[in-house]
């Protein structure tokens, strides 16, 4: 899993960051019925909930002041109850002629998270965070080493998507569609460790406006390091999102080190849960595999991975590691990577190498957040 670490944030005048806490309720935390209930509690007519929701999800408008079809007094009252500010931009960088844009956000309690918007000729994808930090402790991952600050709220997850969908819709990225089409939960954190809020976010993202953003479930990918009970639970959610399993090693001895949760759920059990998800949903499993020099890139491991996946509804996504400064982990050389790909394909396993975008803007491994914390 490509991860984006959180770093301790120092507020103005050297004051330490506040204790981590969940934000106030936002309309994206609620379904339409829940929004109507809160609107009614404010003394406003229930239809105002649909108005707010249409602005937010249908028009990608996050600023209540711009919702001028709602009377000013009502707008101020409703915004106070349903539209608190969740994300404050800290830095926004771009590369690839503007087709890759990375946003660093400060949350209401001072934590930092990142999102990445990527435009292609046929689609626009956003990579979002589900937690501030991560508790999975994978040693090659800066986020895992930083530890978990807290789960993000449903609305904090959704608001990343709505903001970046608005960026895409503005037309600032040339040569790509204006409509956001794909979402990947591959940013900071382990999505299935924040299960209930991630599931609620999936409902908001895929429900039609004004209930939600109206994205296709099949265009959303949820990653996991292999939390088997949550994977089994996800299979029963009646969702057709893609499940991405961050495997990183085909053998228990190495995976115990690279993905410590493997000490609880071994490779065979994790893969069984993935195949059960695939059987229930009909969706192909994406196997994420970070290529780490002299660690997991040996030919025999490619052969073992090929045997584990042969004949399964699976696709391997090899990830060239983007090491953080000072890390002992480095990316596999290209000839080694190509041989790994060759062996997997020879075993009949569809394999691609992930496009490494955004390196010049600290586009991976949370380097943007780290650089902000060190400034």
Active site residues: 114, 365
The C-alpha atoms of residue 300 and residue 306 are separated, in whole angstroms, by 10
CA atoms within 13 A on the CB side of 346: 10
Alpha helix segments (H runs only) across the chain: 32-41, 47-53, 72-82, 142-146, 154-169, 195-206, 228-235, 252-258, 267-281, 299-309, 334-346, 367-374
Q: Please say whether the dihedral angle defined by the alpha carbons of residues 65, 68, 70 and 72, taken in this order, is positive or negative.
A: positive
Report helix, strand or coil for 78.
helix
Work out the burial of residue 360: count CB atoms within 10 Å of its CB; fewer than 13 is exposed, 13-18 middle, 19 or more buried. Answer: exposed
Residue 268: Cβ-neighbour burial (10 angstroms; 0-12, 13-18, 19+): exposed
Which token pair is 358?
């955004």
């Amino acid at each position: 899993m490509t991860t984006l670490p959180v770093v301790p944030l120092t507020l103005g005048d050297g004051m330490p960051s506040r204790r981590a806490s969940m934000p106030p309720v936002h309309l994206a935390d609620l379904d339409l019925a829940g929004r109507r209930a809160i609107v009614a509690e404010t003394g406003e007519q229930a239809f105002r909930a649909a108005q707010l929701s249409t602005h937010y999800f249908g028009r990608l408008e996050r600023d209540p002041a711009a919702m001028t079809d709602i009377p000013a007094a009502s707008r101020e009252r409703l915004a106070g109850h349903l539209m608190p500010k969740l994300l404050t931009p800290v830095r926004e960088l771009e590369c690839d002629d503007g087709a890759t844009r990375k946003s660093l956000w400060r949350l209401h309690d001072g934590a930092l998270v990142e999102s990445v918007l990527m435009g292609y000729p046929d689609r626009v994808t956003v990579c979002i965070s589900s937690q501030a930090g991560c508790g999975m402790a994978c040693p090659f991952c800066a986020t895992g080493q930083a530890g978990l600050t807290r789960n993000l709220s449903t609305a904090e997850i959704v608001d990343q998507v709505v903001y970046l969908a608005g960026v895409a819709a503005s037309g600032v990225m040339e040569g790509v569609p204006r409509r956001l089409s794909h979402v990947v939960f591959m940013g900071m954190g382990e999505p299935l460790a924040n299960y209930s809020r991630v599931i609620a976010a999936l409902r908001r993202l895929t429900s039609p406006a004004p209930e939600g953003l109206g994205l296709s479930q099949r265009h959303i990918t949820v990653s996991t390091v292999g939390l088997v009970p949550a994977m089994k639970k996800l299979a029963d959610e009646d969702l057709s999102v893609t499940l991405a399993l961050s495997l990183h090693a085909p053998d228990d001895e190495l995976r115990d080190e690279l993905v410590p949760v493997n000490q609880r759920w071994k490779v065979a059990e994790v893969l069984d849960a993935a195949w059960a998800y695939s059987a229930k949903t009909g969706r192909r499993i994406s196997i994420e595999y970070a290529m780490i020099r002299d660690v997991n890139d040996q030919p025999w491991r490619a052969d073992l991975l090929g045997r584990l996946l042969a004949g399964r509804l699976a696709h391997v996504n090899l990830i060239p590691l983007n090491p953080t400064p000072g890390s002992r982990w480095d990316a596999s050389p290209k000839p080694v990577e190509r041989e790994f790909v060759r062996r997997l394909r020879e075993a009949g396993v569809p394999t691609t190498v992930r496009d490494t975008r955004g390196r010049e803007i600290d586009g991976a491994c949370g380097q943007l957040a780290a650089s902000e914390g060190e400034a």
